[in-house]
Structure 1
Amino acid sequence: MSTLAQYRRRAPFYDLELAPFEPLRRSAIASLELRPGQRVLDLGCGTGLSLAGLLQQVGPRGHVIAIEQCPEMLERARQRVAAHGWRNVSLLAAGVAEAPLSGRCDAALFHFTHDILQQPQALQHVAAHLKPGAALAATGLVWAPPWAVLSNLFVLGAALHSMASLAGLDRPWAGLLELSGELDLRYHCLGAVYQATGRMP
């Protein structure tokens, strides 16, 4: 089953699957240190679970550009936006590398978006639409140390359930590091989940 097909199938219960990791989402959003009026990219936004937190930071004068290529996921994000009456959210149905972006943003969030982080073209496209000094935050699965067998069994199962390939799981943030030059790395869930934060040069 392709990754897109997996996400199409998971859309109805995706929010429940990600619920245990909501504290990490909130931490990643907080690390962006957004200010009212700023513009932020939500890459691979899924069902829009990050939108409320991002909008709380940028306020009514700010803007969130959310990108998602899975139609079923994006439809749920649209329903979320409509239910809250958010007028400063743009939802783009596209892969990140092809998304029709314009202007430059103040920050970018990659929350459990391993496949996007492994695509150099996608990262270069994002970088071209970020301001100098823009904040970066990424969270996702990572291989734990070899002795952490249970952690790695979890990573393996979750990765097979959500990723196109296991490639890059040893250093999933490597592409982001090339863009920023420096990242702060923290580990959670017994080493199975990382959080990387940094800024564009």
Structure 2
Amino acid sequence: MPDEYAAFAPFYDLLSAEHPVYRAGRRAGAAALAPRPGDQVLDVGCGTGLNFALLQEVVGSTGRIVGIDRSPRMLDRARRRVRRRGWRNVILLEADATTLSAEGIGARIASAGGRERSDAALATYALSLMPDWEGAWQRMLALCAPAASLAVVDLQEPTGAFSVLRPLARLSCRLGGSDVHAHPWHALERDCTDVVATSARGGHLQIRAGRRRPEPPA
């Protein structure tokens, strides 16, 4: 499968409007996820690792971050970030969230020193990039422990007074490959309890967090 981010990866952090727009969603998502010190957090579609510093602030050196992404070039940038910051508690795996075997990825995480199931998981601006985002969400759930905390941060067209910015939002999503009409956070609302809903940037950024529903008895 071709890596659409191969050429874009070295410039992603500079060109993605991270600080003026999208950092707010990452911060809100990490805060709503509320991992605890020592937790293992799964970052689905981790890209260049822009969530890592926010997660490190909470899980600390006794916790662990597991980043999954299908783009080798984006993972290269993530590894550089990890080396530069001296983080020794990050596991990075190349995998496509829409096709991966949860059991297989869990085994790979365990072989790298982690646990097969994570205490928390998040996907920021990632699910709307995936044609089969529902399948990716189900695999994300499967890689989480019972009652794990989950968060989804993704995009929709701005609302209310900010509707005038819809053409700009559509262009940004189109250039980035996101489906602005996917609204993947609805899956979290369906499959989790204690759901917290927030938004930012005129509703363009949608943040949802909740607890995985208990698995039914065998």
TM-score, with length taken from structure 1: 0.86
Q: Which residue of structure 1 lines up, in the alignment, with residue 197 of structure 2? A: 185
CA shift, 1:10, in A, is: 2.4
Unaligned runs of 5+ in 2: 108-115, 214-218
Q: Write the distance in 1 (CA, Å) between the matches of 2:203 and 2:161.
A: 11
Q: Write the distance in 1 (CA, Å) between the matches of 2:122 and 2:131.
A: 11
CA shift, 1:110, in A, is: 1.1
CA shift, 1:175, in A, is: 2.1
**Which AA in structure 2 matches 1:107?**
A
More deviation, 148-157/82-91: 148-157
CA deviations on 1:82-117 (whole Å, 9 max, x unpaired) are 122211111011112316124211111111112349
Q: Write the distance in 2 (CA, Å) between the matches of 1:106 and 1:117.
A: 26
Q: Does 1:50 align with 2:63?
A: no
CA shift, 1:146, in A, is: 7.7
For residues 105-184 of structure 1, what are the structure 2 equivalents within 5 Å? 105-113=118-126, 114-116=128-130, 119-145=133-159, 148-163=162-177, 165-168=179-182, 171-181=183-193, 183-184=195-196
| Native 8 Å contact 1:154 1:192 kept in 2 | no
How well do the aligned residues superpose, as a CA RMSD in angstroms? 2.4
Change (3 A) 1:26 1:167: closer
CA shift, 1:173, in A, is: 1.1
| Native 8 Å contact 2:197 2:209 kept in 1 | yes
Q: Which residue of structure 1 lines up, in the alignment, with residue 209 of structure 2? A: 197
SS at structure 2 position matched to 1:175: helix
Q: Which residue of structure 1 lines up, in the alignment, with residue 112 of structure 2? A: none
| Native 8 Å contact 1:4 1:70 kept in 2 | yes
CA shift, 1:41, in A, is: 0.4
Change (3 A) 1:88 1:186: same
Q: Which residue of structure 1 lines up, in the alignment, with residue 113 of structure 2? A: none
Q: Which residue of structure 1 lines up, in the alignment, with residue 26 of structure 2? A: 25
CA shift, 1:51, in A, is: 1.0
| Native 8 Å contact 1:116 1:123 kept in 2 | no
Aligned identity (percent) is: 33
Unaligned runs of 5+ in 1: none
Q: Write the distance in 2 (CA, Å) between the matches of 1:42 and 1:92.
A: 10
Q: Write the distance in 2 (CA, Å) between the matches of 1:64 and 1:92.
A: 11
| Native 8 Å contact 1:62 1:88 kept in 2 | yes
| Native 8 Å contact 2:25 2:206 kept in 1 | no
Q: Write the distance in 2 (CA, Å) between the matches of 1:9 and 1:175.
A: 32
SS at structure 2 position matched to 1:40: strand
CA shift, 1:156, in A, is: 0.8
| Native 8 Å contact 1:188 1:194 kept in 2 | yes
CA shift, 1:181, in A, is: 4.9
Q: Write the distance in 1 (CA, Å) between the matches of 2:131 and 2:193.
A: 15
| Native 8 Å contact 2:156 2:203 kept in 1 | yes
Q: Write the distance in 2 (CA, Å) between the matches of 1:117 and 1:104.
A: 25
